[in-house]
Amino acid sequence: MATKGSVPKVLRRLVLLSLPVLAAAVACTPAPNPSAAPSSAASGIKSGSGSVASPGTSSSSTAAPGRPVHVSLLESDGGRYGVGMPIIAWFNVAPTDATAFAAATAVKANGHAVEGAWYFEPTARAGSAVEGHYRPKTFWPAHSSIEMQLPVKGLSAGKGLVYDDSLSLSMSTGAANISTVNAASLRMTVRTDNRIYGVFPVSLGAPNTRTLRGTKVIMEKGADISMRGPGYFDPHVQWTQRLTYGGEYLHSAPWNVANIGSRSTSNGCTNLLPADAKQLFGYLGIGDVVQYPDADGNEMQLGQGYGDWNLPWSRWLTGGAIRTH
């Protein structure tokens, strides 16, 4: 995180408020360090700044020379993601005013303007002071080309701050894979473009390690992780698809086959039969949506993963930690 002098007071308050939430996150494994983004080797996501776009020239938002604010993006050109994937930007210095940044943002899906907005939140990523998430009002359209232009170089990031780079991003979405996990029936229904692909038995979190409620997004795939719990230890759990920073995954659970579909006994993860976990690993992708409408844990928060869709649109439009209008 940035030093105290570089972070707005409202952001410091949000950091302090967010710490208990992160600490309370349910984990199937020892809680990983959220300062690192999901690895590009495992997820197919490449960190980068995209290609350079023409800088903005609006006289109302240009700034005199000041402390540079550098912006980079999680996604890079050519990436393909699920319809729930937010566009994530990192800032090495926290802006104190994101009005110019938000106004300069232009996003199109298949050539048509997107109704979307930025929301800023604390970050634990090393070298970044704050991160911004951009999402539409509803999920991205499936099978679409997404173009973002960020001509922000030279624009004001607040008093004494100026953006030092302009960015563009060209990515696409695949099918609308929306999964719903029913905690009562312990079944996961996977729909693709509104048609049922399959129904799979699951085991969710036990009473002392409850699964978070809400809408989650697959963040990372294939991480080699170990899991330990009552009566089992697996040093190399297979077919992992990460849903939270705190350690919730879709994954194969051969040690829990007797309970999958009948009892919730996991450490918070969604346990799947080995063959089902392998099938879904090959079928689902980064950015696909997994909904837990009736899980008995706390509601997932934005800082616990890509929990963007759990915020109502009216709250999203406030911009979060930094003013956007």
With contact defined as beta carbons under 8 Å apart, do 284 and 218 qualify?
yes
Residue 232 pLDDT level (bands cut at 50, 70, 90): confident
**Rounded CA gap, 2 and 246, in Å?**
22
**Rounded CA gap, 134 and 129, in Å?**
17
Name the residue among 248, 243, 5, 17 with its Cα closest to residue 121: 17
- Quick check: 11 pLDDT over 50? no
With contact defined as beta carbons under 8 Å apart, do 146 and 108 qualify?
yes
**Rounded CA gap, 180 and 183, in Å?**
10
- Quick check: 14 pLDDT over 80? no
Q: Residue ranges of the domains in the chain? A: 38-173+312-316, 177-304
Q: What are φ and ψ of residue 207, in 5° steps?
A: -55, -30
3 vs 174: which has the higher pLDDT: 174
The residues, any chain, with a CB within 8 Å of residue 314's CB and separated by 6 or more, are none
Helix or strand holding residue 22 (H, E): helix 9-23
Fold of 177-304: L,D-transpeptidase catalytic domain-like (2.40.440)
Q: Sheet holding 241-242: strands in order across?
A: 214-217, 289-292, 177-182, 187-192, 195-203, 270-272, 249-252, 241-242, 220-221
pLDDT single digits (tens) 77-117: 999 999 999 999 999 999 999 999 999 999 999 999 999 99
**Rounded CA gap, 292 and 235, in Å?**
27
Residue 320 DSSP SS3: strand
* Segment 180-207 mean pLDDT: 98
- CATH ID of 38-173+312-316, from 2.60.40.3710, 1.20.1560.10, 1.10.3720.10, 3.40.50.2300: 2.60.40.3710
With contact defined as beta carbons under 8 Å apart, do 13 and 99 qualify?
no
Residue 45 pLDDT level (bands cut at 50, 70, 90): very low
